[in-house]
Structures are given as structure tokens and as C-alpha cells.
Chains A and B, each alone.
Chain A
Amino acid sequence: MKNVKRINVYIIREVTKIKELRIFIQDLVEPSLGWALDETIMLHVKGGDAPNTVHFWRSPPSIVLGNLRLNQDQMSFLKEKNVRIIRRVTDGPTFYADEGSLLFGFILDTRDPLFPRELNDLYRLVYSPIIETIENFGVKCAFDNTSYLFVDDVVTSQVSQFWYYDILVFQGVVYLDVDVDFANSAGILPKKVSSLTRLSSSKKTVREFIEEASSRIREKFGATLIEGSLTDLENKTFERVLKTKYQSPRWNLEFSPPLAYGKLLIEVLTASPPTKMCSQIEKNVKEGIKMSGNEEEIELRIWRRGRGLPPGVTVTNGLIEAAKKSQIPAVIVNGELKYGRTVPTPEEFSNIVREEIKRIK
């Protein structure tokens, strides 16, 4: 996992209903590594093989995009200033980060009954250890419930959220001692920011801030900290997420996510409940995947018409086409509608899989 292997890892041991809450603390790392780590953890928390996690880290100067697309002039300007351009998984307003800022991410499975059902309450709970640590600088903060933490009329911390099924990714930045002049003059941030060092006479290092915030997390969630490490599975996923998404201009600049992190995405859309024809297509697709000998290179998603899609899942053009044209059952391969209302044989489908794998490699 390259640089990330050197990080300190802690686990908050269960003392409440939250079973495990890891804390990752990274010092200065490339933005792609830090943002890829959050998404990797999200996938594994969803998969049930990773615990809820909190991640603190710092990055070199970077513009962290949510849903903004930069124009050519802005990109050239940032390149000239040696400021990285990266896009995070959470959408919303752009962040600025540099060595004087602290980035954080909470990745939480909200099916746990401990978490409030109301989004505003949930976001406040998750953000509260950070807000209280900032307020301990002697400043009074106001959170707008979704994006900004204001001190008077300037932003001193920003957050944004992303939902993947029931997993909440809550990412943010604290402007501890950032280059405020650059951040505000670049003309990219939607609101004026200010560093805590300018707003308060109280001084804290990044390390002290993390320690205090961690202690508040411990208090809020009633947990204790112990050291842990990334799993082998997480390490493997991290490499794919990093390479296919966070090191790719298609994501960072064009806002176009990879369909399945470099794997071949196969989607099957059936009636709900499936008819005999739907079950047959599902069976043949699964057999075809097996026959192709490429199971590890494939992500199979089964969708049922009319049941909606979980949040955070990229909706492919082929799936939209199948749904709009009522091509049920349908097989969509890497976003392209391949079969609608016809059932491929396992042999036929395995050939398609082999060809597509060859093509994407």
C-alpha cells in the first residue's frame, strides 16, 4: 500500500454499540493516497469486513473538488502554483488543503442504532468532536448543517458527505494554519476561509489538535483506542481505487468515476420478483462468468426493476437504457446494454466476458 503502510493505526475498542472504530493518523501524504484510503474503507465497511473508521491526515497544497469542474485557466493557474487537483468522493463545495490544514474522514455504518436517524442530528454528532476542538481555541462556531463551519463570516472548517448504501462518508478539513492568502485569492473556493491561527491567540499543533479531537471522539462514542492495521483485502482494494480513480484525470478533472475500479462490471436487470426468464438469465450470466475463468476480475450487480438503486452507486448508461426501454431482463456489460429480453447461453456469455476483459486490460 505504498506510503500508507507507514501510518499509525488505532482501533477504538467496543464499549458502546459501535463495535470497532479505527483511527488512522497519517502525516503528510499525497492527496490521491489519502482520498483513496477513505473510499477503500467505505467499500470494506459496506462489505462487512472493516470496522467504522476515522482518518486524520495532511496533504501538500491541493484543491479538493466536490462537484465543481475547473476550467482550463483555473487548471493552468493551479499547475503553475504547484497545487494538486484532486476530487473527493463526497460532493459539495471545494476544499483547500495544505500542510497547515488537517483533513479528516469518518466512515461509518449507520445501520447501527446508536446513530440518529435525522441527517442533521447525525451530521452534528459526527462533526461535534471536531467542532468542540475548534471551539476550544476560544472561537464561537456556527455549523450550517451540511458544509461550512463559520467563525463570524469566514469559514474555518468545511465538511461534505457521501452515502454508499447505508455507509456514511463524512469528510472535512480544518483550516488550522493554512495559506489563507492563496486560498482566498485563487478564486476557486466558494467562500472566504480563515485559519484558526489568525482567529485565535490560542495555538495548537496538528498533533495536539488530533489528540484533543481523538479524546472527544472517545468521549462522544464512549470508546477506547488501540492500534490496528489494514487488512490484506483492504490493501488490494486500495491499489485498485488509487490507480483507477484517484490517480486518473478522468475522475479528478472530468468527474467521471470508474465503473468498477478497473474490474469488468456486469449488471443484470430483472423483474421483481424475477420471472423464470429472469432467473435463467441470472443463472447463465453467473455460469458464463465462471466458465470465463475471470471471476476475480468481475463485479456482478443484480438489480430488480422498480426497487430503486442504493445511494452512491454509479448508474450506467446501459442500465438507464434497459430501464427506459423496458428491456427486462437485461444484461449490461461495462455500461453497455448487451442483451435485452434475450437470454445468452453460458458459453456465449463467457466469450463476451473474455473479450471484454481483454479489451479493458
Chain B
Amino acid sequence: MENEVFYCNICNKVLHPTSEELRCIYCKEVSVADYTCDDHHFVCENCRLALPEELVLKTCERSEIKNPYELANLIMKHPAIPMHSPIHHYLVPAVLLTTIKNVGHELPSRAIRIAIKRGKMIPYGTCGSWGICGAGAGVGIAMSVLTGATYKSDTERTQSLDASGESLLSISKLGGPRCCKASVYASLKSAVDFLEKNFQIKLPSNFDGCPFSSNNEECKKDKCVYYKGGH
């Protein structure tokens, strides 16, 4: 390990050893840090070893981030989240509900946990095999948890279906092969529009492009609307 160089998973700057007390960027707990970068990013030992579901839950429950893209990118930059995986299916509703809460709207109790549980039921590859991208369906899950919709509901059920439907259409316009990151961004965009139009919930949505293209062997680069070049 001597002479080995480690990089910050948030900003990719070189990490250096430290003994400062720092707040973990994911779980927000303060502890004596072992490594940090020049921007003082720190990931605690528990979060470095976290399972994806633990990470999404802990981060969302404790985050104050209001921009869904920013929160999604923070979680997706953690090495527990692969480039493409069903984790994105529950990441989308968890992120949406967290940011809805963070802009001042109350959520039903255990909303994020319920959303994760539902999103986890969607297997991988359903975009191709069912015609339903899990990230897009995640928008419907978020709306359902937010409104308490069930299969017997009227308006709430319609809203969940509309939200998923609009999100799926926006994902279909991206073309293939699938990119879970692009599907997350398209789902979030669709959800932000849907929330403003139907619930008057306004989420900040500044977004400067996908930071993952260099890690994605199948990146469509200029053919992707989220590609920001330079990779």
C-alpha cells in the first residue's frame, strides 16, 4: 500500500492522509478521518464498505440536498454503484422523495424505505424485456408513495401511471443501448416537470451533464443529450 495513490470518488482529486475530524459526505456522521482531498471530501469507513441499499437509504435519510441531479450524482459516484445495475431502479424514487422533503414538503412516514423496497422488486434489464425501465417506473413509485396511491385509488393511481408513462417516453427517446445514468437523468427531468405541473412542487434542477461517460464503455457520447464532452 506504500506509495499507492488514492483518488476522491467525488472530485477525483488525490486523497492525502489526515487525522482531522470531518463529516462524511454520505451519512453526515462526524469522525476522525483517515483520508481527504483538497476539497475536504471525506467518506467514513462504514460508508466505504456500505452495501448499495444501505448507502442509498443512509444518504437520502440524512441529506439536505434539494437538487435531485446533485443527490443522484453523489450517490452514483460511490463505487458501490456500478455503471449499470438495478440499483438505479430504487435510487430514482429515493432521490425524488428526499429532495421533495428537502424543499419543504412532508413525506409519509418511512417513505424512502418503502420506495426502496418497491424499486428493488424491479429486476435488471426490464427496459428491454418488459418495455419498462426501472428508473422510469421509479418515478411512478415516488408519486405513489407521495400520494399514498393504491390499485383502488382514482386520481392518485392515474398520477402514478402518468408519471411513469411520461418518464418512460422520455427514456425511450434516448435510444439504445441502455444507459442507467441517462435513464436516471431522463426520469428525474420528467419527474421535476411532472411535480411542478401537478403538485406545484418546484425542485431545483440545474445540471451540467453526465460525469460518468469516461467510465462507460458503451457511452454514446455526442449522441447522448447528457454527454458533456472532454472524456
A interface residue count range (under 10 / 10 to 19 / 20 to 34 / 35 or more): 20 to 34
A202 within 8 A of B: no
Nearest-Cβ distance from residue A111 to partner chain B, whole angstroms: 16
Q: Are B6 and A341 in contact (CB under 8 A)?
A: no
Q: How far is the CA of A304 from the CA of B15 in the complex (A)?
A: 14
Among B45-53, B57-65, B136-144, the stretch in contact with A: B45-53
CB contact list, A278-295 vs B, under 8 A: 278-279, 282
Please encode chain A, from 265 to 304, with 1 for each CB lying within 8 Å of some chain B CB and 0 for all others.
0000001111111110010000000000000000000001
Q: Are B15 and A271 in contact (CB under 8 A)?
A: no
Nearest-Cβ distance from residue A336 to partner chain B, whole angstroms: 21
Task: Find chain A residues with CB under 8 A from B7 CB.
Answer: 272, 307
Q: Are B49 and A272 in contact (CB under 8 A)?
A: no
Q: Are A273 and B35 in contact (CB under 8 A)?
A: yes
Task: Find chain A residues with CB under 8 A from B15 CB.
Answer: 273
Q: Are A273 and B6 in contact (CB under 8 A)?
A: yes
Task: Find chain B residues with CB under 8 A from A282 CB.
Answer: 1
Q: Are A326 and B48 in contact (CB under 8 A)?
A: no
Q: Are A326 and B45 in contact (CB under 8 A)?
A: no
Q: Are B79 and A272 in contact (CB under 8 A)?
A: yes
Nearest-Cβ distance from residue B129 to partner chain A, whole angstroms: 19
B149 within 8 A of A: no
Q: Are A305 and B1 in contact (CB under 8 A)?
A: no
Q: Are B80 and A277 in contact (CB under 8 A)?
A: no
Nearest-Cβ distance from residue B81 to partner chain A, whole angstroms: 9
B9 within 8 A of A: yes
Task: Find chain B residues with CB under 8 A from A304 CB.
Answer: 6
Cβ contact of A271, chosen from B49, B51, B52, B215, cutoff 8 A: B49
CB contact list, B191-231 vs A, under 8 A: 215
Q: Are B52 and A326 in contact (CB under 8 A)?
A: yes
Q: Are B34 and A273 in contact (CB under 8 A)?
A: yes
Q: Are A341 and B49 in contact (CB under 8 A)?
A: yes
A306 within 8 A of B: yes
Closest to A305 in B: B79
Q: How far is the CA of A306 from the CA of B47 in the complex (A)?
A: 14
Cβ contact of A272, chosen from B6, B51, B82, cutoff 8 A: B6
Q: How far is the CA of A307 from the CA of B48 in the complex (A)?
A: 13
Q: Are B6 and A277 in contact (CB under 8 A)?
A: no
Nearest-Cβ distance from residue A284 to partner chain B, whole angstroms: 14
Task: Find chain A residues with CB under 8 A from B34 CB.
Answer: 273
Q: How far is the CA of A251 from the CA of B6 in the complex (A)?
A: 35
Cβ contact of B51, chosen from A275, A308, A326, A329, cutoff 8 A: A326
- Total interface residues on B, CB under 8 Å, equals 18
Q: How far is the CA of A341 from the CA of B50 in the complex (A)?
A: 11
Please encode chain B, from 77 to 117, with 1 for each CB lying within 8 Å of some chain A CB and 0 for all others.
01110100000000000000000000000000000000000
Q: How far is the CA of A277 from the CA of B50 in the complex (A)?
A: 13
Task: Find chain A residues with CB under 8 A from B78 CB.
Answer: 306
Cβ contact of A305, chosen from B45, B51, B80, B215, cutoff 8 A: B80
Nearest-Cβ distance from residue A276 to partner chain B, whole angstroms: 7
Cβ contact of A275, chosen from B1, B48, B52, B215, cutoff 8 A: B48
Q: How far is the CA of A277 from the CA of B51 in the complex (A)?
A: 15
Most buried by B among A272, A273, A276: A273
Nearest-Cβ distance from residue B61 to partner chain A, whole angstroms: 19
Cβ contact of A306, chosen from B9, B49, B52, cutoff 8 A: B9
Most buried by A among B9, B78, B79: B79
Q: Are B49 and A276 in contact (CB under 8 A)?
A: no
A85 within 8 A of B: no
Cβ contact of B49, chosen from A275, A323, A324, cutoff 8 A: A275
Nearest-Cβ distance from residue B36 to partner chain A, whole angstroms: 10
Nearest-Cβ distance from residue B22 to partner chain A, whole angstroms: 14
Task: Find chain A residues with CB under 8 A from B215 CB.
Answer: 308
Nearest-Cβ distance from residue A115 to partner chain B, whole angstroms: 21
Q: How far is the CA of A152 from the CA of B34 in the complex (A)?
A: 63
A328 within 8 A of B: yes
Nearest-Cβ distance from residue B53 to partner chain A, whole angstroms: 9
Task: Find chain B residues with CB under 8 A from A272 CB.
Answer: 6-7, 9, 48, 79
CB contact list, B24-38 vs A, under 8 A: 34-35
Task: Find chain B residues with CB under 8 A from A328 CB.
Answer: 48-49, 80
Q: Are B1 and A271 in contact (CB under 8 A)?
A: no
Task: Find chain A residues with CB under 8 A from B48 CB.
Answer: 271-273, 275, 328
Task: Find chain B residues with CB under 8 A from A323 CB.
Answer: 82
Nearest-Cβ distance from residue B40 to partner chain A, whole angstroms: 15
The 8 closest A-B pairs by CB, nearest first: A306-B79, A271-B48, A275-B45, A273-B6, A305-B79, A326-B51, A273-B35, A328-B49
Cross-chain pairs A/B with CB under 8 angstroms, 13 sampled: A271-B48, A272-B6, A273-B6, A273-B48, A275-B49, A277-B45, A277-B49, A278-B49, A282-B1, A306-B9, A307-B79, A326-B50, A326-B51
Q: A326-B52, A328-B49 are in contact. List 20 more A-B contacts (CB 8 A).
A: A271-B79, A272-B6, A272-B7, A273-B48, A274-B1, A275-B45, A275-B48, A276-B45, A304-B6, A305-B80, A306-B9, A306-B78, A306-B79, A306-B80, A307-B7, A307-B79, A308-B215, A326-B50, A326-B80, A329-B49
